[in-house]
Amino acid sequence: MDKMVHSFTVDSISSSENEKIRKETEKDPILSRALAFNRAGWPASKMLIDPKLYQMYNLRYDLQEIDGCLYKTDRLIIPKSCQAEYLKQLHAGHLSANTCKQKARTSIYWDNIDRNIEFCVLSCEVCGKYRRSKSKVDMVKHTVPQRPFQKIAMDIFEFDGKAWLIVVDYF
């Protein structure tokens, strides 16, 4: 017999925030219908539902309801009306897009969340001001030596707790 167990602790969201998400989920036209299908059972074919629900239909085996909120496995699904607020919270420390995505993947979900995070970070004025410019550096050309050890390069590095000197002959 095959068994699937989903177990996790929902303690990262306050009761007032949970209530807000629950109310907004009820108002959201897609999430409220997905929640209803999750309670009553999904149709056998996605051709029997509104095309706007196709994404939720594809996630149907990962969806669960906890306290009136919809979760994709262990990630709270954020209604559209709350997504901007959560993006703001994710990027509050002006972290990189990758770091914000990693934070989001541990607790929240919505369709196209990665794309929304990238747009948020790219459109942030503070981040834009301090973003490193990726200017191209021209390669330094050098003449090819005519004999060995006419031109060499050296560098010191550490490996396995030991200091090493590497010498390269350009010949």
CATH code of residue 82: 1.10.340.70
Which residues, in sequence order, are bridge partners of residue 65?
Answer: 70
Q: Are residues 162 and 121 in the same domain?
A: no
Res 136: pLDDT: 65
Categorize the per-residue pLDDT at 170 as very low, low, confident or very high, splitting at 50, 70 and 90: confident
Residue 5 pLDDT > 60: no
Residues 82 and 30 in one domain: yes
* Residue 4 placed within a domain: no
Domains identified in the chain, total number: 2
How does strand 75-77 pair with strand 108-109?
parallel
Task: For 11, list phi and psi in degrees, rounded to 5.
Answer: -130, 5
88 and 71 Cβ atoms separated by less than 8 Å: no
Judge if 35 and 113 occupy the same domain: yes
Residue 1 is assigned to a structural domain of this protein: no
Q: Is the pLDDT of residue 15 over 90?
A: no
Residue 10 lies in a domain: no
pLDDT confidence of 12, banded at 50, 70, 90?
Answer: low
Average pLDDT over the chain, rounded to an integer: 87
